[in-house]
Amino acid sequence: MADFIGAVDQGTTSTRFMVFDHDGTEVARHQLEHEQILPRAGWVEHNPLEIWERTETVIGSALTRAGLRPSDLGAIGITNQRETTVAWDRHTGRPYANAIVWQDTRTDAIAAALDRDGRGDVIRARAGLPPATYFAGGKVQWLLDHVDGLREAAEHGDAIVGTIDTWLVWNLTGGPDGGRHVTDVTNASRTMLMDLATLDWDEELLGFFGIPRAMLPTIHPSSDPEAYGCYRLGRRQGEIPVAGVLGDQHAAMVGQVCFEPGQAKNTYGTGNFVLLNTGHEPVRSSHGLLTTVAYQLGDTRPVYALEGSIAVTGSAVQWLRDQLGVISGASEIEALAGQVEDSGGMYFVPAFSGLFAPYWRSDARGAIVGMSRYNTNAHLARATLEAICYQSRDVIEAMVADSGVALDLLKVDGGVTQNTLCMQLQADVLGTTVVRPRVAETTALGAAYAAGLATGFWSGTDDLVANWQEDRRWEPTWSEQQRADGYAGWRKAVDRTLGWVDVG
């Protein structure tokens, strides 16, 4: 048996390939950023061909750097930024347009219309999602409505569509030459098109968006030795089974071994995503959370989760770097924010894509409030880190309200968790212990786990639980009064951002 499992983590900011051994220890990695295309206010696009080219490059270079051959890998898993949507020609592999990224708000009128005539409630009940620009269904409709010839091509069976997992697996497994057109249950649960009970596309939901079923991929478990085919590397290098596919937040949940109902994780990347395992039955939220498939490992029953999705957290740090020039690298924010004791009364609500959970307000836009002449860049840096933590508190409060269970420990992962000041602020803002695992790349690890479970590299989830090790923890230091006052100010700041733009 091969000694290692690989994982592609295709994120919003970058694409990485990582290789893990049986203990879940990283043995190789390579990562490349891709362009964020911002053609108009509210639009965010990626070039699908760039993403595919970067994926092949990072796989090849990670293996070369570590002196590994493709045959050293027993399988690979794919994990991806979710909801981001690509339509392409099945005969040529040519995308019809840039991918519409999950943060893009161009479909606000489509989403608003769904709530005017009752379709929104059907989507809530069946797909577990509130109508929003975030999800893939509206993006497919937008492409069908705006790209010349796409609807006809879809009806003739020439045009196909998918989220980034689908795009990558199709290319990895041969592209126009027999590539598999597939997705997994977790990615499909982010479309507004899948019934959470049947785990299949729902004809009525497809009808709401005018989407021909034939252009959609087939849906499979997240861990499956057959469904996803093999990465074909060329005659002399052979092929590697693609045996696991799951959305990045679901993969992080698997990587954090949140296999028991009541266990939760918070991933801090471009956005933040808190997922709470709710077991084998989907739980409906009455506090603005999503119901989603957490994972389905092989033929076992799916496990569901409640999710609090936050659109802008790490990308607010990027905004300080790229648009304002306040820092020249993301990691510099920690030293800058550390120059001051607090944010000097300043709050920054980075509602650049409206507000996601628990508010779901596409009419919100970003605001910095509470400023006086006293404030400096250091206060802004601190307010940015606090915004990450307060937004996480918003969704965790909703989770506690929905489940009735208090969270006494929060497992964290993702790029921002390298920022120790931010993690201390998170413990203070929540009044909860925050714990980071030894392998911070839990997203890639979770995809590797899904692939390795399918191929027998790991024999079951107990193997994975045994691999999880704590790296560092942060305990709350603020008084209850400080915590309450800080959060009250945040809620006031959020109010100021609502109703800023007219929608639909």
Ligand X SMILES: Nc1ncnc2c1ncn2[C@@H]1O[C@H](COP(=O)(O)OP(=O)(O)O)[C@@H](O)[C@H]1O
Ligand Y SMILES: O=P(O)(O)OC[C@H](O)CO
| Residue 320 interacting with ligand X (CB under 6 A) | no
Of the candidates 133, 146, 142, 187, the residue with the CA atom closest to the CA atom of residue 352: 133
Stretch that binds ligand X, among 205-213, 236-244, 412-420, 456-464 (CB under 6 A): 412-420
Rounded Cα–Cα distance for residues 389 and 425 (Å)? 7
Stretch that binds ligand X, among 110-118, 325-333, 366-374, 484-492 (CB under 6 A): 325-333
Contact predicate 239/214, CB 8 Å: no
Based on CB atoms, which residue is closest to ligand X, 34 or 106?
34
What does the buried/exposed string (b/e) look like for 32-51 if buried means 16 or more CB atoms within 10 Å of the residue's CB? bebebeeeeebebbbbbbbb
| Residue 314 interacting with ligand X (CB under 6 A) | yes
For 266, the 3-state DSSP assignment is: strand
Binding residue per annotation — 314?
yes
Q: Give which of ligand Y, ligand X, none residue 220 binds (C-beta under 5 to 8 Å, depending on kind).
A: none
Chain-centroid distance, C-alpha 214 = 26
| Residue 315 interacting with ligand X (CB under 6 A) | yes
Cα 403–Cα 246–Cα 473 angle in degrees, nearest 5 = 55
Residue of 330, 369, 371, 400 that binds ligand X (CB under 6 A)? 330
Give the nearest distance from C-beta 414 to ligand X in angstroms: 4
Residues in the chain: 504
Residue of 7, 8, 11, 242 that binds ligand X (CB under 6 A)? 11
Residues engaged in binding ligand Y (CB under 6 A) = 11-12, 81-83, 102, 247-249, 269-271, 309
Rounded Cα–Cα distance for residues 417 and 471 (Å)? 11
Rounded Cα–Cα distance for residues 87 and 147 (Å)? 10
Residue of 84, 183, 249, 270 that binds ligand X (CB under 6 A)? 270
Of the candidates 66, 65, 73, 70, the residue with the CA atom closest to the CA atom of residue 5: 73
Sign (positive or negative) of CA dihedral 37, 38, 40, 42: positive
Give the nearest distance from C-beta 141 to ligand Y in angstroms: 19
Angle between helices 377-403 and 420-430 (to 10 degrees): 50
Give the nearest distance from C-beta 235 to ligand Y in angstroms: 34
Stretch that binds ligand X, among 55-63, 352-360, 413-421, 472-480 (CB under 6 A): 413-421
> For residue 144, how many C-alpha atoms fall within 13 Å in the half-sphere facing its CB?
23
Backbone φ, ψ for residue 216 (5° rounding): -95, 150
Binding residue per annotation — 222?
no
Give the nearest distance from C-beta 80 to ligand Y in angstroms: 7
Based on CB atoms, which residue is closest to ligand Y, 19 or 251?
251
Q: Give which of ligand X, ligand Y, none residue 82 binds (C-beta under 5 to 8 Å, depending on kind).
A: ligand Y
| Residue 12 interacting with ligand X (CB under 6 A) | yes
Binding residue per annotation — 426?
no
Rounded Cα–Cα distance for residues 67 and 85 (Å)? 35
The residue whose two tokens read 């990072």 is: 58
DSSP 302: P
| Residue 414 interacting with ligand X (CB under 6 A) | yes
Q: Give which of ligand Y, ligand X, none residue 102 binds (C-beta under 5 to 8 Å, depending on kind).
A: ligand Y
Give the nearest distance from C-beta 37 to ligand X in angstroms: 15
DSSP 457: S
Rounded Cα–Cα distance for residues 129 and 116 (Å)? 16
Residue of 44, 416, 435, 464 that binds ligand X (CB under 6 A)? 416
Query: Euclidean distance between the first and final Cα of the chain, in Å?
Result: 56
| Residue 18 interacting with ligand X (CB under 6 A) | no
Q: Give which of ligand Y, ligand X, none residue 187 binds (C-beta under 5 to 8 Å, depending on kind).
A: none
Beta strands 239-247 and 73-80 are: parallel
Bridge partners, residue 80, by sequence: 10, 247
| Residue 333 interacting with ligand X (CB under 6 A) | yes
Stretch that binds ligand X, among 181-189, 238-246, 410-418, 475-483 (CB under 6 A): 410-418
Give the nearest distance from C-beta 387 to ligand X in angstroms: 12
Based on CB atoms, which residue is closest to ligand X, 102 or 304?
102
Give the nearest distance from C-beta 415 to ligand X in angstroms: 2
Backbone φ, ψ for residue 150 (5° rounding): -70, -40
Rounded Cα–Cα distance for residues 138 and 182 (Å)? 20
Rounded Cα–Cα distance for residues 343 and 371 (Å)? 10
Q: Give which of ligand Y, ligand X, none residue 416 binds (C-beta under 5 to 8 Å, depending on kind).
A: ligand X
Give the nearest distance from C-beta 216 to ligand X in angstroms: 25
Residues forming contacts to ligand X in the complex (CB under 6 A) are 11-14, 269-270, 314-315, 317-318, 330-331, 333-334, 414-416, 418-419
Binding residues for ATP: 12-14, 270, 314, 318, 415
Annotated binding-site residue numbers for glycerol: 82-83, 134, 248-249
Q: Which residues are annotated as a binding site for ADP?
A: 12, 16, 270, 314, 415, 419
